Amino acid sequence: MGCRRVLVTGTGPLGCAPAIRAQRSLNGECATELMRASSLFNPQLARVLEQLNARFGAGTFVAANAFRVHFDFVSDPAAYGFVRADEACCGQGPHNGLGLCTPASNLCADRSKYVFWDAYHPTERANRVIVSQFMTGSLDYVSPMNLSTVLEMDARIHSLEDGLLV
């Protein structure tokens, strides 16, 4: 259909979302069964993308490992400057993981210290970490190349095409 690149993101650490911790965990740990589901799905997705790249050209499909990058700061939030990775900044109930973020919700004082904004979604700062790893990170986070490499390659291709047209 004419696209040059397709970025495909696997699942993050589903069992670590505050909503899941609130609903399925007695001790606040990540829910094992959903972590297992992610660990089964993501490698299969990566294999399918490798097959598609073999068919349509290397680097057409770029796999973003949302699980790895997100789990890195869920498992060691202090390494990324976060204070809380086990509860949401805005919500209700255990881990602020129940309900929507509304005026009646508990609200943290500084959302930049939290990995999760609400029951499922990362904060703006957490999303910036995720995007940064996809842009410049290693093949642990994005493959077959990071997005900076993709953009550089595409810029060179456009330069060559423009040069041929002149």
Confidence of residue 166 (pLDDT cuts 50, 70, 90): very low
Backbone angles phi, psi at 164, to 5 degrees: -70, -30
Q: What is the 3-state secondary structure (H, E, C) of 33-102?
A: HHHHHHHHHHHHHHHHHHHHHHHHCCCCEEEECHHHHHHHHHHCHHHHCCCEEEEECEEECHHHCECCCC
Q: Give the model confidence (pLDDT) of 32-90 as tens digits.
A: 999 999 999 999 999 999 999 999 888 889 999 999 999 999 999 999 999 999 999 99
Confidence of residue 154 (pLDDT cuts 50, 70, 90): confident
Closest listed residue to residue 146, CA positions, set 157, 128, 130: 130
What is residue 119's DSSP assignment? S
H-run or E-run covering 81: none
Q: 66-75 vs 32-56: helix axis angle to the nearest 10?
A: 150
Q: How many CB atoms lie within 10 A of CB 37?
A: 14
Supply the Cα-derived Rg of the chain in whole angstroms.
19
- pTM, rounded to two decimals: 0.86
Q: Give the model confidence (pLDDT) of 8-31 as tens digits.
A: 999 999 999 999 999 998 888 999
Closest listed residue to residue 74, CA positions, set 158, 23, 136, 15: 15
Residue 104 · residue 98 · CB < 8 Å: no
Residue 114 · residue 89 · CB < 8 Å: yes
